[in-house]
Structures are given as structure tokens and as C-alpha cells.
Chains A and B, each alone.
Chain A
Amino acid sequence: MADVNILGIACNWSPYCCYNAAGQAGLALPANFRLLRVMCIGRINQALILRAFEHGADGVIVLECEDADCRYGPGPEVGHTNVARVRQLLRYLGIGQERLVERTFQADQRDAFVAVIHDFAARIADLGPNPANPRQERVA
């Protein structure tokens, strides 16, 4: 597998339930996958996603609850807006918008969750390292 870094930004509720259940069941996730848990996707902003790329992420997947399931209100919609804008910024930057995606989950979709992460990791491995390679900020 190409030497790439994948970051998941996950809501604490449904997506993290899936992640936790996968761990309990001993289902493997890609070794190059890191998870950042936030209480709600409503907490993220464009800066958080950009910073991941600035610090060497090659792909970022935003893991959300379904709109109607948000415990707080507009969380997933905040996710949609931010992902849409950062995808456009990534396109301008030449990093490519396909390196940022969002996926929604219900709490009991453990297997789908695992499949989505593997699928995304494989697609980023195919794309290879982030071409902008902001190595000034990248810790070896």
C-alpha cells in the first residue's frame, strides 16, 4: 500500500458507535487510518479540515450522523457546508476534491462503516500522496 495518511473526523454518536462496535467485534481497519472524535460534526469548520491537509493528511473522511438523527440540531448540515467549501478549496489548491469526502451512518451500521473506511483508504492509496505535499509542516 502506498505511504498515505488517512484521517477520519467522526461524530461521537452514530459513527463512533459503528467504530466502537467494529473494535469490539475485532474487525480490522486500515493501519494508516487515524480517527479524530468530535462531540458533533457541528463542531467542525473549514480550518480543522484544511489543517489536516496542511499537516500531511492525504485523505480526510468526515463521518456524520444522518441529518434527522443529530442529537444537537444542525450538526450534519454544518458538515455538508464545510465539506462542500473545502472540497472547492482543495480543487483550487490542486490537492483535488476527491481527497475529502463525507459519509453518514446510523448507529447500527458497523459493517458498512468498516467497508466505507477500507474503500476510502484504497481510493487514496490509488491516488497516492497529496500532491501539494506541504512538508514544511509535516513531521517525519
Chain B
Amino acid sequence: MELNAPEIKRIIKDCSLYLCQECGKCSASCPRFLSGREYSPRLLAQKLISQPGDRAYIETAIWECLSCGRCEERCPSNVQFTRFIREMRAILAADQGLMGHQAHDGALHSWMRIMTAPELRQDRLDWLTPDLKTDATSEVAFFSGCAPYFDVFFAGLRVDTLRTARDSIRLLNFLEITPQVLANERCCGHDLLWSGDVENFAALARLNHQEFRDRGVKEIVTACPECFQALGAHLSRVAPGSDLKVTFLLDLVEREVKKGGVSFRPFPRRVTYQDPCRLGRMSGRYQGPRDLMALIPGLDLQEMANHRQGSICCGNSAFLGCDAYSKRVQVERLQQARETGAELIVTACPKCLIHTTCALRDPVRGEPWNLEPVGLVSLLAEHIQWSPGETPLRD
């Protein structure tokens, strides 16, 4: 397909690229650009509109973007840059088989595509410990996503992605919700969607839709902002008739805690918070996680120089294009975290947890960072309690 084809013109129009004023605010806020990479969202937009013959530049640049959405926050013309990137990747993937540079040699994308096999019968629940209450007839399911797979794949990093999954169920149990945990849920497809592999994303979404239906699931609770986005905003586009309710665990916890009767044990430590891009800029949740942290006595939240709408990416998204520039983004981010004097870097996304841990455990770094990453779900699960004098409703 030529880059001036009508389908591409449609994307340019739908994503408001024609409204670009070439002000350059996007490039000036882009973490890729700021890390020294020769990549500029402004130039990409301009090239595609006025020099579509420069395929070499355009087709490389499309895969550079982290889809972090920082540029969109500042764009005065409301250009939908991340949607533009997602749709262009789908075209380049379908038309030319381009897939970007997949991190970890594509292992994660591989298992995600393997999961499109309809006959798949997974055996993925060995991490459920006896203290976790689940109920196969519940209409609410906790979606653990790729957590069990990450736990094995990233064993060398010592990043405990299953801790978040277990602590999520602990929190739900504490709030007297006994979810089912599906043995055969598939990956939510987020990374395939953002890698241009829409066909396999749709296959996963339809299989998940069928699985939820077969198991009587009406509501999915997830602790992962990417699953939240993929299942909440994108699943229904490819699985028509889906009336699935998708709930982000921290929203649920916030709602329940506000009803009263619950408090948190003290945790007198200084922490900082990494806003995940899918939770903050894409889902508009900045305050909720902060409100929850504020309920923990003694916890001292110190913000990094860039936070909330201006937060900086953990360095990678959809496991694409991890390179020396990603590392510079991460080191810069950890430097900001260190400047807050925090001992812990709290986040609400398993991918942020993985990427931050990876950067912190870099064997060739000089001095130790004295920072530990931790999931907000775990922090809450480990400190939640009934307030003195309050008892659970049913016990």
C-alpha cells in the first residue's frame, strides 16, 4: 500500500493529523526524543502528510513511539497521536508484515499468539494458595492476565508478578468478594493490538468473550491497566454483543473503602508513585491511587518532578523496541524517583513493575539505587484492616 492511499488518508483525518500546527510541543515532550533518539512525532506527522514518498523515515518512525500519550496532553490541536500509531501499525503489519523490534526476541508475542488456538486448555492456576477464596460459580472473575507467564519468563529479574495477583484476590476476599479465577482465560491482547497484530488480538478477544460467557462471568476485575484498557475499551469492538462489565481493582477498592469501616495499618515509609500511562493518560485515573495511598498512616508520598499528566513512561510498551534509549528514559525516571528521597517506587501496573525492576537490577550499573519497586495492590492488601470496633458484615 502506498502511504498516500485512501485508507491512510482516513487515519490521518480521523486522528486529526491535518490539524497539526507544527508547533513541536509533541516532540518537546516525547520521552523518546528527549532521550536523544532521532525520532520526532511532529516530523512524522508532517512527513506522512506532505512527503508520503519518504517511506524509509515514516515506516521506521511508526515503531519508535512508546504510545505513552505524553504528546497528546500538550498538543494544542488535539491530535490523537497514540490512536494514529496504533492504526498505522495495523496497516504496516497487515500490508508488509512489519512488526517492529520485539523485545525479548518476541517470546511474549509468541505465547500470546499461541493462545489464539481455540483448543487451548491451559493449566495456569498453580499459584493459587489455599488462603485465597475463589468460587467457580461467581459472576465476578478476577482476570490474572499474563501474570503467571511473566513470573516464569522473568524469573531471572526477581520480579514477583504473581504477588500482585495473589494480593488482588486477598483484597477482594477482604471486601467479601469471592471471585472465580478462570483456568482458560487468554491474554487480553493488549501487546498484539499495539504491535499491529489486530487479527490475533481479535482472536484472543473473541475467545475470552466466549470463555466469560461459558463460565457465567458478568464482571471482570483486573489489577492491570493494560487488561483494563484492552478488555474495557477494545474487546467490544471485535466481540459484538459483549455486555461485559470491566472493573479496575483499585476503583473497586476505593469505592468500598469510602463506605467506611476500613482502615490501614501504619507504614511509615517515604514512597513515590509512577503513573502508568494506561491508567493515567489513557484512563484518566490520577487521583484514585493517590487517595488510597493517603489512607495509609505514616506513608509519605513524594511526587517526582514529572507526575500525573506529565508523567514519564517506564521505558517500554507492548514489549516493542527496547533499546539503549529506553534505558536512558528509565535511568532518567529512576533519577527523579531517587531525588524524592523515596525508598519505594509504587506503581499500579505489572509492566511498570517489570520494567522498573529490570532497570534497577541492571548488573552493570554503578552504585545501588536504594529503591525497590512495589505494586500498590500489595501495599494495600498488606495493610488493610477493619477499623477498631468494626467487624465484617458476614463472618
Across the interface, do B122 and A51 meet the contact criterion of CB distance under 8 Å? no
Residues of A within 8 A of B153 (CB): 46, 85, 89
On chain B, the residues within 8 Å of A50 by CB distance are: 107, 110-111, 114
- In the bound assembly, the distance between CA atoms of A100 and B122 in angstroms comes to 17
Main SS of the interface on chain A? helix
Q: Does A24 contact B (CB under 8 A)?
A: no
> CB distance A92 to B123 under 8 Å?
yes
User: What residues of B have a CB within 8 angstroms of the CB of A93 in the complex?
Assistant: 111, 114-115, 120, 122, 124
Asked if B113 is at the interface (CB within 8 A of a chain A CB), the reply is: yes
Give chain A's interface residue range (CB within 8 Å of chain B): 20 to 34
Which residues in A have their C-beta under 8 angstroms from that of B155? 85
Q: Tell me the smallest distance from the CB of B193 to a CB of chain A, in Å.
A: 16
Residues of B within 8 A of A137 (CB): 113
Which of A121-137 touch B at CB < 8 Å? Answer: 131-137
Q: How far is the CA of A29 from the CA of B158 in the complex (A)?
A: 41
B203 at the interface (CB under 8 A from A): yes
Residues on A with C-beta less than 8 A from B113 are: 54, 134, 136-137
Which residues from B are CB-within-8-Å of A132?
114, 117, 119-120
Are B152 and A53 interface neighbours, CB within 8 A? no
Contact with B along A82-95 (1 / 0, CB 8 A): 00010011011111
B152 and A51 contact, CB distance less than 8 A:
no
Min CB gap B304→A, angstroms: 33
A48 CB-CB contact with B under 8 Å: yes
What 1/0 mask marks residues of chain B from 62 to 106 whose CB sits below 8 Å from any chain A CB?
000000000000000000000000000000000000000000111
Among candidates A48, A53, A54, A95, residue contacting B105 with C-beta atoms closer than 8 Å: A48
Contact present for B152 and A92 (CB under 8 Å): yes
Closest chain A CB from B66 CB (angstroms): 21
Cβ of A100 to closest chain B Cβ, rounded Å: 13
B106: chain A residues at CB < 8 Å are 47, 51
For B119, the chain A residues whose CB sits under 8 A away are 131-133
B356: interface (CB < 8 Å): no
Smallest CB-CB separation from B124: which chain A residue? A92
Q: Is A45 among interface residues, defined by CB-CB distance under 8 A?
A: yes
Inter-chain CA distance A47–B101, complex, in Å, is: 13
- The answer to the question of B174 belonging to the interface, with a C-beta cut-off of 8 Å to chain A, is no
Give the distance in Å from the alpha carbon of A132 to the alpha carbon of B203 in the complex: 14
Q: A48: which B residues are within 8 A, CB to CB? A: 105
Docked CA distance A81–B153 (Å)? 10
A-B contact pairs, 10 of them (CB 8 A): A50-B110, A54-B114, A93-B111, A93-B114, A94-B120, A132-B119, A132-B120, A135-B117, A136-B199, A136-B203
Q: Which residues of A contact B (CB under 8 A)?
A: 45-48, 50-51, 53-54, 81, 85, 88-89, 91-95, 131-137
Having A47-B110, A136-B116, one finds 14 other A-B pairs with CB under 8 Å, namely A47-B104, A50-B107, A51-B106, A54-B110, A85-B153, A92-B123, A93-B114, A93-B120, A93-B124, A131-B120, A131-B121, A132-B117, A134-B113, A134-B116
